[in-house]
Amino acid sequence: MTDVAVLAERLIAWPSVTPASGPVFDELEAMLTPLGFEVERFVAGEEKVENLFAVRRGPPGSRHFAFAGHLDVVPPGEGWSATPFSPERRGELLYGRGAVDMKGAIAAMVAAVAEVPIDAGTISFIITGDEEGPAIHGTRALIDRIRARGDLPDLCLVGEPTSTVRLGDMIKIGRRGSVNIWLEVDGTQGHVAYPHLADNPIPKLVKMLEELGSIELDRGTEWFQASNLELTDLAVGNPATNVIPAKATARLSIRFNALHTGADLVQRVAEVAERHGGRALAMISGEAFLTPPGAFSALVADAIHAETGLTPELSTTGGTSDARFLKDLCPVIEFGLLNATMHKTDEAVALADLEVLARIYTRVARTALSHGSGATV
């Protein structure tokens, strides 16, 4: 098999803090083209987010399996024991920003497809440079392009780091949705000694937040933990000690399961805000989704067990990922490396895990493509 660690080093070596573009995509294209992939790249949005769709076509009528992920990374931060974008092997580990989340997984995908014959079926890569950012002009723009091309996959695997203690102990079959809501209450500024001439917005906001905080959204479902509403910011911005402020604001974040939609939750919060003289402005980042346990999850679990001896837990925990968009194309599952060091200083991946992950991905792709046209997986 191709040396997956070398592939990972080549990707890590290019600084690609979100939104990513340019050299790191050049590197991935240089890996895929010799393997027979047709590569399309385009830039979207004012942030100039780069996206890549690469496809290697199998025989007419064959199944289409997609790997998906992102080449952008979070800022490295301070305190690294080595240069974040100079990959370094120390003992059994490979250090560098993106080693886990998720350049290592993309390297494993490339190594995997090199072991899958072209006549096995169609394989594609759906890769964005904006997963760690606003995610507005990344995977969503890719989905529009894929639909316009008519290259819809039958199944998709996202390489997010899902493992917790050992590689292969968990896969994600769904995610909770996410919505952020900004709350505002207007008042009338005035002197604290003359409150009858002013209108203090703070007590109204406090009562609003008290009511919102008392809401039990649900108690969870068979596959999802309970939805939760959290206060993430509270501000007045009043530098004066003797002035009643003109405005008070707060921000909420709701992570919700499949019992709700983002729009319904926004409406519910807006009604509470209006009762207390305020208003709500919202941004829905993604809806909850579930790929029900079945043939696809069993296929991935079998591949993991064959290489590790583990039977993975099927989970919907954690934050959001671009799977929240990709589920509109086809059934999607997430599986990747250990998540212990993602987004941290000295992010690192075990070299042995990279090799095992590549073999698992090879098994998944081969099996997913082997069912033939029209088969249900």
Q: One of 131, 287, 322, 347 is an active-site residue; which one?
A: 131
For the record, the structure tokens of 211 come out as 């009511």
Q: Which residues contact 166 (CB under 8 A, 6 or more apart)?
A: 308, 310, 338
Backbone angles phi, psi at 244, to 5 degrees: -75, 125
Q: One of 27, 72, 307, 346 is an active-site residue; which one?
A: 72
Tell me, yes or no, if 218 is annotated catalytic: no
Task: State how far the alpha carbon of 39 is from the alpha carbons of 11, 81, 99, 179, 343, in Å.
Answer: 17, 36, 24, 34, 29
CB atoms within 10 A of CB 232: 10
Q: Is 96 left (phi over 0), alpha (psi -120 to 50) or beta?
A: left
Give the Cα separation of 347 and 233 in Å (integer).
29
Tell me, yes or no, if 222 is annotated catalytic: no
**Tokens 């010799």 found at:** 34
**Tokens 């998720």 found at:** 102
* Pairing of β 332-334 and β 155-158: parallel
CB atoms within 10 A of CB 377: 18
Give the Cα separation of 12 and 104 in Å (integer).
8
Q: Which residue from 125, 130, 135, 115 is spatially nearest to 156, judged by alpha carbons? A: 125
In terms of Cβ atoms closer than 10 Å to its own Cβ (0-12, 13-18, 19+), residue 136 is: middle
Active site residues: 72, 131
